[in-house]
Structure 1
Amino acid sequence: MESRSAARRPGSLHLLAMVLMVAAFGSRYAHAGLFDDDEARHQIKELSIKTNDRLDIIAKGQIELANQIQALREENSRLRGQVETLTYELEAARKRQQDFYVDLDGRLRKLEPQPASSTEARPADEGRPQADAPRKVASDPAAETREYEAALNLFRANKLKEAASAFETFAKAHPDSALAPSAYYWLGNAQYSLRDCKKAIDAQRLLASKWPAHPKAPDALLNVATCQQELADAKGAKTTLETLVAKYPDSTAAATARQRLKK
């Protein structure tokens, strides 16, 4: 009996050792599984916190962006209002300047020599046409004045295309009229207002070259320089301003030309 018990003891001990090992492994795996669940919960919690923080940052960024957009809209509205105001003031200033020059034109014409009337008495021998002399149509100062005033009224009414056409027609129909220089002057101004600087230069140059002693000649050269500057012809504008100062040193236009040459 003792021998059999002794024989069975090693097997029992071996079996017990196996059971203890399995229990130990099972306990370890159970602990590891419990640890993995806690770690996962912790990571999920941290991820949730980070996600919420990012969402808060994005929300704040969107609010700031919306505020900036609204501020830009308000600033744009304010600037648009300023532009409209400045445009109105510029147009009003241009109209005042236009009215000033029209009034000045009327005053200057009173100082200009008037052409002799066709009805003025002539000697008997001068009244008879000669056979070899070309017949010249007599001018009518009153009719010329009406035509000129009609063109000037179009310019005053800001009907620039019609005014330019009327002044050009007048200048071609009455090239020797005392009002022809003024017609070319206003033709140039109308073309400039229509943003046609090349035609404006042609009209003003014709006035300055054909009637250099006319009161509007200095202003015509100043207008030429202005157009040249707008056409990016800085060298030509400088030459014109220097010519203006040399030919008409005491004119108001020359004073303006000196200021421009200093810049």
Structure 2
Amino acid sequence: MANSISLNNKPAGCSMRWIGASALALAALWPMHAHALFGDDEARKAIIELRQKVDANRQASEAADQEARDAGAADRRSLLDLSNQIEQLRAEIARLRGLNEQLAREVSELQRQQKDVQSGINERLKQVEPTKVVLDGAEFLATPAEKKDFEGAMEVLRRSEFEAAAQAFTSFVRRYPDSGYTASALYWLGNAQYASRAYKDAIESHKRLVSQFPQHLRTPEAMLAMANSQVEVKDSKGARRTLDDLVKLHPQSEAAAAARERLARLR
């Protein structure tokens, strides 16, 4: 048992050499004393037992060596597998990082495109979306096109290009029949026609204003201007009737005060 314990405590690499040497030594010594101490049967039995112990120790040592080799190989395989998994994870992380960067670029590009589209939509809406306008005491909504065309006609009138202004206002009234600018456009149309001596046309324009917009701020002035055009075409009776209506319908207006003076001269 002492030999067995010492064998098990020796390093795995030296076990086989030590066992072999021990067996040879015992085999050499045994013949000199075996017959003196034991009988032949007992000697054989002791040798067999010794050989069995030696073989058991050798097998245990070999098994331990094999187990150690297997464990080392398993550890190496585990390390190799772990290294491969780490490399795979690194590759996957790199792929995902690249994909994330690509997605970020695509999102940024989509946001830029959306911003451009929205900007274009807003710009187009500005060109057609009505805005609030206050003119001659009236408040209404007008599209940018309406506003541009009306102001363009007014600019022509300010340059004293009366015939061109009359054409511009006539075009405006035809193009925008329901515009909030219509009443004012009719007033200035009649004035432009009067200035270009188209008195009958001026009478019709101002009469339309008075008929369609009786409460408009420009209506009293339009009635006074209409009476002037009627005087120019020698329609004194029509002029007095228009001035009488002006005084009756709009007695507090400045145009009514002027109408009273003209009535006194026409009678």
Q: TM-score, with normalisation over the residues of structure 1? A: 0.49
User: Which of the two has higher C-alpha Rg?
Assistant: 2
Q: TM-score, with normalisation over the residues of structure 2? A: 0.48
